[in-house]
């Protein structure tokens, strides 16, 4: 009998977003040998700082100096580390590595995966990072369907036969923050959270499913309701969240119908809110783990390059 | 032959808004004997300053110390001069004076006209000042129809048989400002104006008339279009204006249909933009002068009280 040898590092994988980065050292089977997370996102890094930030984390993780590194996300944007030019949808999700930008480095093979753009007039769109999550979802078996990735800029992607065919970004999270911080609704909305099962959330979703076009005419009523009803008014933060998520889900339903199952990439409260909204809209859905997806997408790109 | 005697002041009329005030001294026929405008709107006045501000303007206009004063607008809001409680829609537009708040004053009869509220669940709404413009429009002959009052908080009012039946506030102007000043679109949108006949404006309106529910999914594409096409992208400020005004007009059309003529209370560039959007939506419309409307509404209330 021999003891199994300790796994050998195969690559480092980095999900380098706007505000955060996550880095994993992976073996060839995708086993996690070490990981770190930090707030050194693209916004916190000048272009000449990315390498030092990466090397700092790799040293802490004990990564060998020749370990190759695969990167996804905003590090590849203009003004990031190095610009990895967009691929143009439709794209094969298992071929992202072919468009990777090779970052000059003294000891390592470092590559940044490309984002994806959409050049349809009036529906121009871009993503960086989500395409790698989608590649991970495909590697997990999602060859056809819709994927909803909620957030500051929520994205809905349509996957057909392993290709990312089209996508739409909704400014749902950013609008919620803008209205809460800078608009006439600021005092009405106040601070703090709300329970995902708050009836005011559900009511907002239902209003938008009934008539999504009315969204800009529903916002002011949050303030009017508070003026007229005081504490008896429905929880305005919950209702606003319902209106904005409802508008997103209603538009996605109008665009795609409800015939295809939705992969929902979310966790915690956000997942509960979207589960509720998707259910009210009649979508079938299952929940996916965004961290696991991006790691899988990065691993598969690394395997295609170096495996 | 006798020379016509100079007109006698009948009342002073004040349109006291959030950021500005306008004051007229009127004779009983509505002739303007004097007028002033200033930036001493409700926001610039502490509650105990309103009387002094008013008296300063009245003195400059040579108004007698006993001249009665009729006021409309935000001076009657909570936190304004004195709160004039809302009337609840539906309301008879020629009876606003019956709900006026009598402001204690040593020498004058000073009254603030009430705003109007709407207590429909999910469609709660309020107005202060617009109801007086609507009364003026009715006095000018508009007994039935829709009235569109564009602005920071655009309002659409439905008038039937001289009554204000229902209304909806759209946060069109505020959303344009929020997105231009505080959102990720800030750099894309830049500063400055655009020509009302810019095809990007028209394209935005048409997109919303086709599918108004997609509004929150159309905003991010302004940035993506600029990223992908640079200077060749449609003028983003014009397109955003088209999307937001288009969303408003599309929602109003879905709510009311296009069978009734719209009175558009606007001037200058704003009037041109709304004329274009209303035309694309298939509305018949005519343009009304907001200043003349509020003066007429104030005059008729004054006549009913003191005439």
Report the pLDDT value the prediction gives residue B85, as an integer from 0 to 100: 97
Q: The tokens of B226 are what?
A: 């600029």
Residues of A in contact with B170 (CB under 8 A): 216-217, 220
Report the pLDDT value the prediction gives residue A2, as an integer from 0 to 100: 52
CA distance A107 to chain B (A): 33
Residue A37 has pLDDT above 90, yes or no: yes
Distances from the Cα of A181 to the Cα of A188, A204, A242, angstroms: 11, 20, 18
Report the pLDDT value the prediction gives residue A5, as an integer from 0 to 100: 59
Is A217 in contact with B178 (Cβ distance < 8 A)? Answer: no
Q: Distance between CA B174 and CA B180 in Å, rounded?
A: 10
Residue in B86, B174, B250 closest to A213 by CB: B250
ipTM, 2 dp? 0.92
* Other CB atoms within 10 Å distance of the CB of residue B223: 24
Residues of A in contact with B215 (CB under 8 A): 213, 215-216, 247, 251
Residue A12 and residue A26 in contact, taking contact as beta carbons nearer than 8 Å: yes
Residue B3 banded pLDDT, cuts 50, 70, 90: low
Residue B84 has pLDDT above 80, yes or no: yes
Mean pLDDT confidence for B23-27: 98
Q: Which residues, in sequence order, are CB contacts of B2 under 8 Å at separation 6+?
A: none
Mean pLDDT confidence for A69-91: 96
B40-43 — which CB contacts under 8 Å span 24+ positions?
Answer: B41/B16, B41/B17, B41/B74, B42/B16, B42/B17, B42/B18, B42/B73, B42/B74, B42/B75, B42/B77, B42/B79, B42/B80, B42/B81, B43/B18, B43/B19
Percent of chain A with pLDDT over 70: 98
From chain A residues 234-263, the ones with a CB under 8 A of any chain B CB are 244, 247-248, 250-252, 254-255
From chain B residues 95-124, the ones with a CB under 8 A of any chain A CB are 117-119, 122-124
Q: What is the mean pLDDT of chain B?
A: 95
Residue A302 banded pLDDT, cuts 50, 70, 90: very high
The DSSP element (H or E) to which B91 belongs, if any, is: strand B91-92
Report the pLDDT value the prediction gives residue A212, as an integer from 0 to 100: 83
Residue in B168, B216, B247 closest to A172 by CB: B216
Report the pLDDT value the prediction gives residue A3, as an integer from 0 to 100: 55
Report the pLDDT value the prediction gives residue B126, as an integer from 0 to 100: 97
Residue B296 banded pLDDT, cuts 50, 70, 90: very high
Report the pLDDT value the prediction gives residue A4, as an integer from 0 to 100: 53
User: Using one digit for the tens of pLDDT, what is the confidence trace for A186-199?
Assistant: 999 988 899 999 99
User: Using one digit for the tens of pLDDT, what is the confidence trace for A4-31?
Assistant: 556 899 999 999 999 999 999 999 999 9
Q: The tokens of A206 are what?
A: 């239902």
Residues of B in contact with A250 (CB under 8 A): 213
Residue A1 has pLDDT above 80, yes or no: no
Q: The tokens of A150 are what?
A: 């909620």
- DSSP assignment, residue B6? P
Residues of B in contact with A183 (CB under 8 A): 171, 174, 178
Measure the N-to-C terminal CA separation of chain A; round to a whole number of Å: 29
Distances from the Cα of B210 to the Cα of B167, B251, B253, angstroms: 23, 11, 12
Substitution target from B77, B83, B189, B217 for chain A, most A beta carbons within 10 A: B217
Rounded to an integer, what is the distance from CA B101 to the centroid of its chain? Answer: 21
Residue B90 has pLDDT above 70, yes or no: yes
Mean pLDDT confidence for B131-155: 96
Q: What is the mean pLDDT of chain A?
A: 95
Q: The tokens of B200 are what?
A: 């990007």
Residue B5 has pLDDT above 70, yes or no: no
Mean pLDDT confidence for A135-150: 95
Mean pLDDT confidence for B250-276: 96
Mean pLDDT confidence for A220-238: 91
Mean pLDDT confidence for B250-279: 97
User: Using one digit for the tens of pLDDT, what is the confidence trace for B195-244?
Assistant: 999 999 999 999 999 988 889 999 999 999 999 988 778 899 999 999 99
Residue B21 and residue B8 in contact, taking contact as beta carbons nearer than 8 Å: no
Residues of B in contact with A251 (CB under 8 A): 211, 213-217
Is B178 in contact with A174 (Cβ distance < 8 A)? Answer: no
Distances from the Cα of B237 to the Cα of A147, A219, B248, B264, angstroms: 31, 22, 17, 23
Residue A102 and residue A83 in contact, taking contact as beta carbons nearer than 8 Å: no
Report the pLDDT value the prediction gives residue B155, as an integer from 0 to 100: 98
């Amino acid at each position: 009998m021999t003891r199994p040898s300790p796994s050998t590092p195969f690559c480092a994988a980095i999900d380098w977003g706007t505000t955060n980065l996550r880095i994993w050292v992976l073996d060839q089977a995708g086993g996690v040998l070490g990981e770190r997370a930090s707030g050194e996102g693209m916004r916190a890094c000048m272009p000449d700082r990315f390498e030092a930030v990466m090397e700092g984390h790799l040293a802490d993780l004990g990564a060998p100096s020749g370990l190759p590194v695969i990167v996804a996300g905003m590090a590849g944007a203009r003004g990031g580390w190095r610009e990895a030019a967009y691929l143009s949808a439709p794209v094969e999700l298992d071929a992202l590595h072919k468009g990777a930008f090779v970052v000059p480095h003294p000891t390592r093979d470092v590559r940044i995966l490309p984002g994806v753009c959409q050049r349809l007039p009036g529906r121009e769109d871009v993503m960086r990072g989500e395409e790698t999550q989608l590649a991970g979802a495909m590697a997990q078996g999602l060859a056809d369907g819709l994927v909803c990735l909620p957030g500051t800029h929520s994205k809905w992607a349509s996957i057909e036969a392993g290709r990312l065919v089209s996508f739409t970004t909704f400014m749902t999270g950013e609008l919620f923050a803008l209205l809460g911080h800078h608009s006439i609704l600021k005092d009405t909305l106040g601070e703090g959270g709300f329970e995902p099962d708050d009836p005011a959330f559900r009511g907002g979703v239902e209003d938008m499913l009934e008539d999504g076009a009315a969204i800009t005419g529903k916002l002011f009523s949050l303030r009017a309701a508070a003026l007229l009803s005081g504490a008896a008014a429905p929880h305005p933060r919950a209702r606003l969240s319902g209106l904005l998520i409802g508008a997103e889900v209603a538009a996605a339903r109008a665009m795609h119908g409800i015939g295809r199952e939705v992969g929902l990439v979310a966790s915690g409260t956000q997942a509960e809110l979207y589960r509720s909204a998707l259910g009210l809209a009649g979508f079938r859905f299952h929940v996916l783990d965004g961290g696991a997806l991006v790691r899988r997408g990065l691993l598969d790109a690394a395997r295609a390059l170096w495996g």
